[in-house]
Amino acid sequence: MLEFRNVRYKYPDGTRVFEKLSFIVNEGEFVYVIGSTGAGKSTMAKLITSEAVPEAGSIMFYNLNVGRLKKRKIPLYRRQLGVVYQDFKLLPDKNCLENIIFVLEMTDKRKQECRTRAREVLRMVNLADKANKFPKDLSGGEKQRLAIARAIANKPKLLICDEPTANLDPEMSEEIMNIIEKINKETGTAIIFITHNSNIVNERRKRTLVIGGGTIVADLKEGGYHLQNEQVREFIEKEELEETQMITGLLNGDLFISNLSEQKKDDLLIKLLKEKKDEKQGG
Ligand SMILES: Nc1ncnc2c1ncn2[C@@H]1O[C@H](COP(=O)(O)OP(=O)(O)OP(=O)(O)O)[C@@H](O)[C@H]1O
Ligand SMILES: [Mg+2]
């Protein structure tokens, strides 16, 4: 249902992000997107929502060419998508129910219909009893649940989650994951889940796209960060890369670490590639 084909993108200020980004997401799929900070994960989300337009290549959503959409057609297209962000983006002067009704009323639904649907999605995220509360009176996890309810109110075909658990403690993150998995299973909404959280990716194994160097570094069927390659582990230890708490890249199942300088990352990548080549030639 979503296909990136050789997408090239740079920001107006000249920052190059993607050279050739290609991947497909099928209907109902759940896909993690990982990659080091600045790799372009959020930019990818912006390309999907048409906040950014590719310089070359194409983005197809069903048979709609997203990069070529006329301005006036964008709002209608976006209704087929739901987006959840790290910082919730709730309307502070509206209560939970009103936050949801607000997005429903932008469509041509009748008032009563909007109310009914708003209550329904609040129930789905276990917030039925908080309908009249304002965002400031909710916990972080509850705020994110409200943001999710709002994102799915219009029954999107695709829900994009850009680090929705980044500001939440582990317990709340678990709760959010359960809800998003439930939405995926019960409504068939496809999910693109951008995250830095290695616990989530390791424990709830799913397809994982790894973004780096302006392209897809790996597309792993069952995801997970692997820490199996002894050589790589030794290399990292030898180089005293202990500040590398965050694992973000993968290359053919090998570990690859972020929070390194770009140069160190490149060196590590080159070394890994050389090893792979030698292995192949040797055996
Ligand atoms: N509005 C902008 N104008 C210019 N450059 C930008 C803009 N937004 C992001 N960038 C740059 O584009 C690159 C990709 O940024 P992006 O936000 O997509 O990364 P990310 O993978 O989401 O990172 P993070 O994990 O930190 O959220 C970075 O080099 C960033 O500095
Ligand atoms: Mg980001």
Evaluate whether 43 touches 33 at the Cβ level (below 8 Å): no
Contacts of 40 (CB under 8 A, 6+ apart): 9, 17, 18, 21, 211, 214
Decide whether any atom of ligand 1 lies within 6 Å of the 15 Cβ: yes
Between CA 173 and CA 276 the distance in angstroms is 36
Contacts of 18 (CB under 8 A, 6+ apart): 7, 8, 9, 40, 43, 44, 54, 214, 215
Q: How far does residue 186's CA lie from ligand 1's centre (Å)?
A: 33
Q: What mean pLDDT is predicted for residues 142-151?
A: 96
Q: Is the pLDDT of residue 263 over 80?
A: no
Helix (H), strand (E), coil (C) string for 156-211? CCEEEEECCCCCCCHHHHHHHHHHHHHHHHHHCCEEEEECCCHHHHHHCCCEEEEE
- Most confident listed range (160-169, 199-208, 214-223, 224-233): 160-169
Identify residue 275 by its one-letter amino acid code. Answer: E
Between CA 107 and CA 103 the distance in angstroms is 8
Model pLDDT for residues 218-258, shown as the tens digit of each residue: 777 665 444 334 444 454 455 443 333 333 344 434 344 44
- Structure pTM? 0.82
Give the whole-number percent of the chain exceeding pLDDT 70. Answer: 78
Residue with tokens 């194994």: 205
Give the whole-number percent of the chain exceeding pLDDT 90. Answer: 61
Q: Is the pLDDT of residue 211 over 50?
A: yes
Between CA 151 and CA 125 the distance in angstroms is 11
Q: Is the pLDDT of residue 16 over 60?
A: yes
Q: Predicted confidence band at 273 (pLDDT cuts at 50, 70, 90)?
A: low
Q: How far does residue 15's CA lie from ligand 2's centre (Å)?
A: 15
- Per-residue confidence (pLDDT) for residue 270, from 0 to 100: 61
Q: How far does residue 277's CA lie from ligand 2's centre (Å)?
A: 33
- Per-residue confidence (pLDDT) for residue 201, from 0 to 100: 81
* Spatial CA neighbour of 101 closest among 118, 113, 125, 89: 118
Between CA 159 and CA 45 the distance in angstroms is 10
Decide whether any atom of ligand 1 lies within 6 Å of the 16 Cβ: no
Decide whether any atom of ligand 1 lies within 6 Å of the 38 Cβ: yes
